[in-house]
Structure 1
Amino acid sequence: MKKYSIVIAGGGSTFTPGIVLMLLDNLNKFPIRKLKFYDNDEERQSIVAGACEIIIKEKAPEIEFVATTDPEEAFTDVDFVMAHIRVGKYAMRELDEKIPLKHGVVGQETCGPGGIAYGMRSIGGVLELVDYMEQYSPNAWMLNYSNPAAIVAEATRRLRPNSKILNICDMPVATEDLMSKILGLSSRKEMNVRYYGLNHFGWWTDIRDNDGNDLMPKLKEHVRQYGYVTNAGQNEQHIEASWNDTFLKVRDTYAMDPETLPNTYLKYYLFPDYVVEHSNSEYTRANEVMDGREKFVFGECEKVIKQQSTEGIKLHTDDHASYIVDLARAIAYNTHERMLLIVENKGAIENFDPTAMVEIPCIVGSNGPEPLSIGTIPQFQKGLMEQQVSVEKLVVEAWATGSYQRLWQALTLSKTVPSAKVAKDILDDLIEANKEYWPELKKEAELVTANV
């Protein structure tokens, strides 16, 4: 069986040790000959890489391991790029969340103004990775799970239309893990799901077991009372206190359309006033992550390095991230597995923009994804999605053309923002905070003058 070479772009991420442990647990299904880390922050990556090198020596010493900040070394001779970068790291995420809250608007890393700010930083970073891959390993595939996935996916569709990149998100998978616990199943893979929407903006319409029995009634009854909160507890990734509120709030989102089951993130668009009211503008989810997962992961990595052993270490596999291996296997071995991916609509949703990047079930093989037909969708969901996809397209337009106006329009159109004035006030603050990361934006009059 062929062994594969992988580069993890974002080697200094708090998620990287969990991804490595997950890959090592699945070597029988997806063998690896070489594993590389790439990051532009050498100091941060060195801690994670130092620990992961020891983990690999203990579990699979035959795998060649490299950690580098050199793109040529990282991207040469690779079959897959697994990308999960965070441009600006958690310090910028904190500003993404706190600046909108200062204006009485939802502060969240992928939704509303915070997601737009993060998207404007991420576009250039992801495109840079695509270009490195195509320069040094043109036959490789990129499995991108960098956020905000919706904006990144639109940017790659528009600006790198022929690139071999698959945009994916773990939130539906993590939610399906919770659903399987609610149903008493051993795995989400015992469910066949129908789902449609945009990333962090979608609905499950049908869930059945492998024998075709309808599981929606039991799930709906639970969600009506408890949201996605389960007695079995949440997964290791979603352990911050604010996640419990997010899972519980699903009850109210579900009540708006009891025919479907909603993605958790819809609360930010449908109940923005509630979210702001229940947010602490001094201590947001970014602070929870920095004080929780970030300190834990880096602390455990430093212990591994200090004792040169994983004995007694509490780093854990991100089980729900096994979808990354499933996706890589589908491409490598032409498995035709059914998976949720973010792909260009092209008529899969009949009554929706064919150029929209939608999150829908696809059959995945060596040639990439084949989207399944969804048919027509109801007016309520269609209206919400049209508004949100326009936001995403305007953000990419603003990044590509350097237009202040387009980004102001994007913020104004976001369902989380109450007016054009508030949108402009937030935008001006975000521009100031993101000087180091965003392209320079010019107002329409300046753009006209520049083109004369």
Structure 2
Amino acid sequence: MKKFSITVAGGGSTFTPGIILMLVENLDRFPIKEIKLYDNDKGRQSTIAGACEILLKEKAPDIKFIQTVDPEEAFSNIDFVMAHIRAGKYAMREQDEKIPLKHGVVGQETCGPGGISYGMRSIGPVLELIDYMEKYSPDAWFLNYSNPAAIVAEATRRLRPNSNILNICDMPIGIEELMASSIGLTSRKEMEVKYYGLNHFGWWFDIRDKQGNDLLPQIREHVSKYGYVTADESKQHSDASWNSTFAKAKDVQALDPDTLPNTYLKYYFYPDYEVGHSNPEHTRTNEVMEGREKFIFTECQKIIDNQTSEGTELTIDEHASYIVDLARAIAFNTKERMLLIVENNGAVSNFEPTAMVEVPCLVGSQGPEPLVMGEIPRFQKGLMEQQVAVEKLVVDAWYEKSYQKLWQALTLSKIVPSAQVAKDILDDLYEANKDYWPELS
């Protein structure tokens, strides 16, 4: 069986150790000969990579391991790029969250002004990675799970239309695990779902078991009472902010009780509630820096200091196993059914053909084949049309270096109350992002 070479772009990410451990756990399904970590921040990557090198020596000594900041070394002779980069790191995420809150608007890293700001930072670096891959390994596939996935996917559709790129998000996967848990199933893979929407902006409308039995009524009943909160704590993020998000799904679902919503819709349906329950001085980024960031770097340093992973509390990122499923689908033509972000082209029949929608696809060696979800209701269609226009305007603004288009994007966002507030937020975000955004005129 062929063994594959992988580059993890964003090697200094706190998610990298969990992904490495998950890849090692799945070597029987997806054999690997080489893993390269690539990051443009050598110092940050060296701690993560130092620990990963020891983990691999102990668990899979046959895998060749490289850490590098050199694009040619990173992207030569590879089969897959697994990209999870964060342009501007947590310092800029903090600005994405706190600047809108200062103006009384939701501060969230992928939704509304924060997502637009992050998108303007992400487009250039993601395109750069794709270009490196195409220069040094033109037959490789780019598996992108960098946020904000919706804006990045629209940018790649428009600006790299012929590239081997798959855009995927783990949030629906996490929610499906909670759904499965809520009705006593052991895995989301026991369910077959129908779903439509945009990234972080979608709805499940049909869920069945492998025998074709309808599971939707049972799950809907649970969500109408408890949201996505389940008795199985291991399925959930442990932070308080995540648990409140899972609980709030009950109120989101009330708007259309026939479907099940993506949790991120709470920011669009209940922005006043979200702002009222936010601390503008201490946002989700601060939780991450004090929790996950500190924990991962401390554990990695401990492994380096001890030169062994014995006793480490680093865990396999089971949640990321979809990355192996995706790579296997391409490598072995498995035709696995997965939710991907793809050009619509009729998958949602009454929606814009060029919109990047999130729908089930069969994934094989030629890429994704989107499944037709049919017509969608007016409520969802109206919301999605507004949101897809925001995403397209952001890519316009980045490409044309247009202040006007970015102001329009912010004004059109359902989260932002007026054009004046949009302009005030934009001016503050532009100032904060001057090292990352194109110069606008």
Query: Which residue matches 1:78?
Result: 78
Residue 183 of structure 1 deviates from its aligned partner by 1.3
Q: Secondary structure at the match of 1:265?
A: helix
Deviations 1:430-452 (A, max 9, x none): 0000000000000xxxxxxxxxx
Give the partner amino acid of 1:319. Answer: E
Query: Which residue matches 1:179?
Result: 179
Query: Which residue matches 1:155?
Result: 155
Paired positions, count = 441
Alignment partners' CA distance in 2, 1:135 and 1:36: 17
Query: Which residue matches 2:355?
Result: 356
Instruction: After TM superposition, list the pairs within 5 Å mapping 1:223-238 onto structure 2.
Output: 223-235=223-235, 238=237
Query: Which residue matches 1:417?
Result: 416
Query: Which residue matches 2:385?
Result: 386
Alignment partners' CA distance in 2, 1:415 and 1:297: 36
Q: Secondary structure at the match of 1:117?
A: helix
Alignment partners' CA distance in 1, 2:106 and 2:235: 25
Deviations 1:402-441 (A, max 9, x none): 0000000000000000000000000000000000000000
Alignment partners' CA distance in 2, 1:337 and 1:438: 37
Alignment partners' CA distance in 2, 1:419 and 1:45: 41
Give the partner amino acid of 2:23. Answer: L
Q: Secondary structure at the match of 1:256?
A: coil
Deviations 1:312-370 (A, max 9, x none): 10101111210000000000000000000000000111110000000000000000000
State whether residues 177 and 320 of structure 1, in contact with CA within 8 Å, keep that contact through their aligned partners in structure 2: no
Query: Which residue matches 1:279?
Result: 278
- 1:212 correspondence with 2:212: yes
Alignment partners' CA distance in 2, 1:138 and 1:317: 31
Give the partner amino acid of 1:366. Answer: S
Alignment partners' CA distance in 2, 1:312 and 1:43: 25
Query: Which residue matches 1:446?
Result: none
Which stretch shows the higher mean deviation, 147-156 or 305-314? 305-314
Which stretch shows the higher mean deviation, 353-362 or 177-186? 177-186
Give the partner amino acid of 1:124. Answer: G
Instruction: After TM superposition, list the pairs within 5 Å mapping 1:238-253 onto structure 2.
Output: 238-253=237-252
Query: Which residue matches 1:26?
Result: 26
Query: Which residue matches 1:311?
Result: 310
Residue 235 of structure 1 deviates from its aligned partner by 3.5
Query: Which residue matches 2:49?
Result: 49
Runs of 4+ in 1 over 3 A off after TM superposition: none
Query: Which residue matches 2:265?
Result: 266
Alignment partners' CA distance in 2, 1:234 and 1:54: 27
Alignment partners' CA distance in 1, 2:114 and 2:219: 32
State whether residues 339 and 364 of structure 1, in contact with CA within 8 Å, keep that contact through their aligned partners in structure 2: yes
Q: Secondary structure at the match of 2:263?
A: coil
Query: Which residue matches 2:89?
Result: 89
Q: Secondary structure at the match of 1:380?
A: helix
Which stretch shows the higher mean deviation, 239-248 or 325-334? 239-248
Q: Secondary structure at the match of 2:29?
A: coil
Deviations 1:365-411 (A, max 9, x none): 00000000011000000000000000000000000000000000000
Query: Which residue matches 1:64?
Result: 64
Alignment partners' CA distance in 1, 2:9 and 2:111: 24
Alignment partners' CA distance in 1, 2:221 and 2:189: 21
Alignment partners' CA distance in 1, 2:393 and 2:326: 30
Deviations 1:241-290 (A, max 9, x none): 10111001000110000010000000000110000000000000000000
Query: Which residue matches 1:255?
Result: 254
Query: Which residue matches 2:112?
Result: 112
Root mean square deviation, CA, Å: 0.6
Q: Secondary structure at the match of 1:119?
A: helix
Query: Which residue matches 1:330?
Result: 329
Deviations 1:41-74 (A, max 9, x none): 0000000000000000000000000000000000
- 1:199 correspondence with 2:237: no
Structure 1 gap segments, 5+ residues each: 443-452
Alignment partners' CA distance in 1, 2:342 and 2:37: 27
TM-score by length of 2: 0.99
State whether residues 178 and 234 of structure 1, in contact with CA within 8 Å, keep that contact through their aligned partners in structure 2: no
Alignment partners' CA distance in 1, 2:100 and 2:238: 24
Q: Secondary structure at the match of 2:321?
A: helix
Q: Secondary structure at the match of 1:360?
A: strand
Alignment partners' CA distance in 1, 2:245 and 2:186: 24
Residue 240 of structure 1 deviates from its aligned partner by 1.6
Residue 153 of structure 1 deviates from its aligned partner by 0.1
Residue 300 of structure 1 deviates from its aligned partner by 0.5
Structure 2 gap segments, 5+ residues each: none
Give the partner amino acid of 1:139. Answer: D
Query: Which residue matches 2:40?
Result: 40
Q: Secondary structure at the match of 1:281?
A: coil
State whether residues 332 and 366 of structure 1, in contact with CA within 8 Å, keep that contact through their aligned partners in structure 2: yes
Residue 234 of structure 1 deviates from its aligned partner by 4.8
Alignment partners' CA distance in 2, 1:183 and 1:125: 41
Alignment partners' CA distance in 2, 1:42 and 1:134: 23
Alignment partners' CA distance in 2, 1:151 and 1:233: 32
Give the partner amino acid of 2:418. Answer: S
Query: Which residue matches 1:221?
Result: 221
